């Protein structure tokens, strides 16, 4: 399947230049966010699913790798960013502490507010 749009760029997350690939498909988003290989990174992966009904909570999350960290990251994302499609997320970051998490949220807010189509 061909994405509706695809972007590759770099951003600073916790003062480390980080590569970002964002792709939007008709029913979901795919984001791969990774720091350089020479930085010891922890890989986290999963998806945040938008529920079709209007019940609370609006999202469910499923970890594919490192459930403990992914669920914390997913909760932070869903509290700060409105997502209208399932988000598949692959992260390879040095750490997932407060500074890194807030930088990640800032980057994702910019992506969702300025790059991706929101239906």
Q: What pLDDT sits at residue 119? A: 43
CA atoms within 13 A on the CB side of 51: 10
Element (H, E) at 109: helix 98-114
List the chain pLDDT tens, one digit each, 119 residues.
888 989 999 999 999 999 999 999 999 999 999 998 777 899 999 999 998 777 677 888 999 999 999 999 999 999 998 888 999 999 999 999 989 999 999 999 988 888 765 44
Q: What pLDDT sits at residue 115? A: 72
The pTM score is 0.88
Q: What pLDDT sits at residue 13? A: 93
Sorted by sequence, the CB contacts under 8 Å of residue 57 that are 6+ apart come out as 51, 78
Q: What pLDDT sits at residue 113? A: 84
Please give the CATH architecture assigned to the domain spanning 5-114: 2-Layer Sandwich (3.30)
């Amino acid at each position: 399947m061909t994405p509706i749009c695809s972007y590759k760029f770099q951003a600073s997350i916790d003062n480390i230049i980080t590569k970002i690939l964002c792709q939007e498909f008709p029913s979901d988003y795919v984001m791969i966010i990774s720091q350089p290989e020479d930085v010891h990174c922890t890989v986290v992966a999963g998806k945040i699913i938008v529920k079709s009904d209007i019940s609370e909570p609006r999202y469910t999350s499923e970890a594919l790798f490192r459930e403990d960290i992914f669920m914390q990251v997913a909760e932070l994302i869903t509290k700060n960013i409105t997502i209208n499609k399932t988000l598949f997320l692959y992260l390879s970051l040095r750490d997932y502490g407060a500074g890194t998490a807030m930088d990640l949220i800032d980057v994702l807010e910019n992506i969702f507010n300025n790059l991706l189509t929101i239906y």
